[in-house]
Amino acid sequence: MSDLPLSERPQPPVAPRGEHVEMLHGERRADPYQWMRHRDDPEVTAYLEAENAYTAAMTAHTKPLQDALYDEMLARIKEDDASVPARRGEWYYYSRTETGKAYPIFCRTHGEHGSEQIYFDQNAEAAGHEFYQLGALEVSPDHRLLAILEDVSGYEDFTLRVRELASGAWLPDRVEKLGFGLAWASDSATIFYLTTDDAKRANRVWRHALGADGAADAEVFHEASELNNVGVQRARSGEFIVISSSSFTDSEVRLVPAARPTEPAVVVRALRDHVEYDVEPGAGWLYVCTNEGAPNFKVMRAPLADPGAWEEWLPHRPEAFVEAAHVFQRFVVVQERQRGLRTLRVTDLERGATHYVDFPQAAYGIHVGANPEFDASDLRFTYSSMVTPDTVFDYDLRTQARVVKKKEQVLGGYDESAYAIERVEAVARDGTRVPVSLVYRTPFERDASRPLLLYAYGSYGYTLEPTFSSMRVSLLDRGFAFGIAHVRGGQEMGRQWYDDGKMQQKMNTFTDFIDVAEHLVRERYTSADQLAANGGSAGGLLMGVIANLRPDLFHTIVADVPFVDVINTMLDASIPLTAQEWLQWGNPHEPDAYACIRAYSPYDNVAPRGYPRMLVTSGVNDSRVAFWEPAKWVAKLRATKTDTRVLLLKMNMGAGHGGASGRYERLRETAFRYAFIIDQ
């Protein structure tokens, strides 16, 4: 379709241009598409629907390919499946899926071999809703009640509901417009939850007594700083409710005795500029991960009776970035990152012995599970690589023996020996060595003949693990290689890796990705006319920047929910998440920050030049990256670019930042993206 003469193609909608001009730091800023910000304006809705109609027409010829991809991906999935049960006291909790049902079913047994009780069927609750997601699902300590947070719009406005498990009846308790996170007190009659401000910043913790009117709920903590987000959870030890308040540069933690939920919260240590810390209560001690005097973080501990009296427990080591401490009655498992890969450091508190858990492959990912039992001697974690499906292990923390509890079944004859992974390094323009994880089907000749999809994120210190995806096999089996560029802005190589990819150093994220792409072309893994790029959210920002900086290097770009109108968003503190993110991107009200952002902001740098073939996706209820950012960007690209290559906007009119909520619809969305890339 995209190769048809322009006169024979469906014609894209032409966005009306408006007048919106302002002066900022001596620059005249004209924004002709500012009118798109009004979601409830019928003209905006009509324009978005016209974009969707154009996208449907331009991709109609790929429908057989979309269907084939969907069928392939679905055929690899064991639709009737169950998670490994996790013990909590005398109960074993798990979830399972059934063929044809979009959502999980949550179950439990009394004892390991007891009869199944379904305590929450998400399919039943989602019936009648176009969108349905959970922000929390927590069973009370006495196992009698279930508290959930549900969202039926995608805007992440959650409603608290409580169910009596014996009868299945919902209690009258109901509190609306909440944020993520809740915690039960030990009495199983008190719930802590969060509310958000107008910018959707979690800023208050409340205490709700079951049976009471929500209007009478007690405020436990209020964070006034617009730079900080609040969180709440019940500690694994069960002894405390942990309330955190953190920005991108500092944090503060409060503890409420879970057995005495009406007592005031006690501050572990008062907020200090540029000092971050997390707290995990243990047996008689608090374990504290902090960057105080430790760029790559260290672990301190303090007696419960004197939480501010920190003493060093695991010193700072430049070669090891401490991500978290998982604390149990007799063991502490420190989650570290060395040479870009996650490791687990186990300390037996009774014997004072320490060892590392070994992992075999050159590139892999580990996810430590919930492990709800404080007195456990086994650690449950999931291991996978780009060729090895998710494998759940129970690891004996004392004997170091590991037992495979489950390995994800990939149906349809998947053979991991038919694929290979590589961990390579690309040298960035400033000499920094940037890791790249690659997977492809063998045999693989580096003759520049293979298409390659390169993915990255590179913001907020979020690390992309090189893990398995059964959906990705559909690309690999069609000759694609797939790569993850571990660019600066994540924390793959430690905290400095993150610091070197934000604020005034943000351009490193974008040039790293370009330098990785050039390396892969130079080393003949692919060629520029067979190279596709993909990223979402802040990774979508990355896609927008590379489209402006090096449109010649990428044949096709897919930008999902892209954060592309950076200056206009960061100027408006009323937009969800904006103010706190000044510590991530800079505050463009300040001249230096404005100049930095102005140099890369995709919307502000659209120019009359040729651009790659592009697909842009978004959701109209997105509360994290407003729908109008990608909509404005696409409109400006259409009006400005000099080529006739395809440019599509696919707007989900009933979802938010994460796209569709059901598993089958998510497969459809992936099949659509892959079909676009393959077709182009």
Q: Which residues are catalytic?
A: 537, 622, 657
Q: Which residues contact 538 (CB under 8 A, 6 or more apart)?
A: 457, 458, 459, 460, 489, 563
> Under the phi-then-psi rule, with left for phi > 0, alpha for psi from -120 to 50, and beta for the rest, what region is 605?
alpha
CB of 308 closer than 8 Å to CB of 297: no
Which candidate, 505, 421, 427, 517, places its Cα nearest to that of 466? 421
CA atoms lying within 13 Å on the CB side of residue 78: 14
Q: How far is CA 489 from the centre of its chain?
A: 14
Q: Determine how many CB atoms are found less than 10 A away from the CB of residue 63.
A: 12
CA distance 91 to 104: 19
| Terminal alpha carbon distance of the chain | 9
CB of 106 closer than 8 Å to CB of 120: yes
CB of 620 closer than 8 Å to CB of 131: no
Which candidate, 420, 488, 430, 409, places its Cα nearest to that of 450? 420
**Residue 482 host element (H or E):** strand 481-485
Tokens of 66: 């979309």
Please give, one letter per residue, the 3-state secondary structure of 258-316: CCCCCCCCEECCCCCCCCCEEEEECCCEEEEEECCCCCCCEEEEEECCCCCCCEEEECC
The C-alpha angle with vertex 334 and arms to 329 and 340, in degrees rounded to 5, equals 165
Which candidate, 246, 245, 263, 131, places its Cα nearest to that of 207? 263
CA distance 556 to 526: 13
